[in-house]
A = this chain, B = another copy of it.
């Protein structure tokens, strides 16, 4: 794993090792905002409160009453590929591998909210992690802040899982042991780890991690407005060859990668090997799954002429959204889904 930050721990998968539909737990990127909480499962509780009929606390054993569900979902960090932005922007300098796909096992948030009885006035559900600490950059709240994000009530009552297993193993400490959210189709910041509290609110939550952080500027009727990040944008990424890799000339080379979107399916992946002058359709592998990435490959007849070549991949989803050629500056330091140039050498 590539260490992007040691403290707090931020690890990236070297994307060239992509191999198969699911990402092994030890290869799945790790995003932490604070030190990893050391949680004793016997003392751990999940509290549910706010605009509900019956505030409750669940132990880990107590949660086992709910039906277990399996859900495959791809999670990408909202800052993945940030290292491609010029001029350089603040934040962890992720390259391509702050994304992974896993099978998650746990409880449907809707089942749990059903038991506590959500009031009709409910508007959002705030997921709060055990992880906490001080924030150093202004504008910032003072004192310890817990990582927390909200979901609209409709999404919370739809397909969100509170997972205790990842690829059939107990959730690793770095991935949110003992319980984390998995919010299909949303960037990773929504899938809050080390859950400790769920608050159903009647107002829009304006916490740090959805205003100053993990938000972007959306043009509105009265000028740009600060909007919390939510759904992943359509994107294809080349796993192999890697940047600056040497590829033999006049040969066959299989360009491989993955592509994902939110709430729909990947319909098409195209590849260019000459910096965008022409695009060729890649072969999609396996079956399509909602909010699950699709692996793809493209058989490249490498050129006779040695030299530098720029490869790019471009995905289109089933609603016809194609990833853009160029960066939209209003997205700030997040949602980097324009076509990313992979420069290689043919020799």
Contacts and interface: CB of A to CB of B under 8 A. Distances in A.
Contacts of A89: 138
B224 A208 contact: yes
B145 A212 contact: no
Contact of A225 (B146, B206, B224, B227): B206
A148 B332 contact: no
Contacts of A332: 138-140
Contacts of A208: 217, 223-224, 226
Interface in A183-221: 197, 199, 201, 204-208, 211-212, 215, 217, 220-221
A128 interface: yes
Contact of A223 (B50, B207, B223, B224): B207
B223 A142 contact: no
Contacts of A244: none
A126 B208 CA distance: 24
B212 A199 contact: no
Contacts of A222: 50, 126, 128, 148, 150, 197, 199, 201, 205, 207
Given A148-B223, A222-B199, A222-B201, A142 B329 contact: yes
Contacts of A143: 224, 329
Report the contact-size class of chain A (Cβ under 8 Å from the partner): 35 or more
A208 B227 CA distance: 11
Interface string A122-160: 000010100000000011111101101010000000000
Contacts of A318: none
A64 interface: no
A226 B201 contact: no
A224 B206 CA distance: 8
Given A142-B329, A330-B141, A50 B221 contact: yes
Interface string A79-90: 000000000011
B205 A90 contact: no
A332 B146 CA distance: 19
A330 B142 CA distance: 6
B139 A212 contact: yes
Which 4 interchain pairs have the tightest Cβ spacing?
Answer: A141-B224, A141-B217, A206-B225, A142-B329
16 contacts: A49-B221, A128-B223, A138-B332, A139-B332, A140-B332, A141-B217, A141-B330, A142-B330, A146-B223, A148-B222, A197-B222, A199-B221, A205-B220, A205-B222, A207-B222, A207-B223
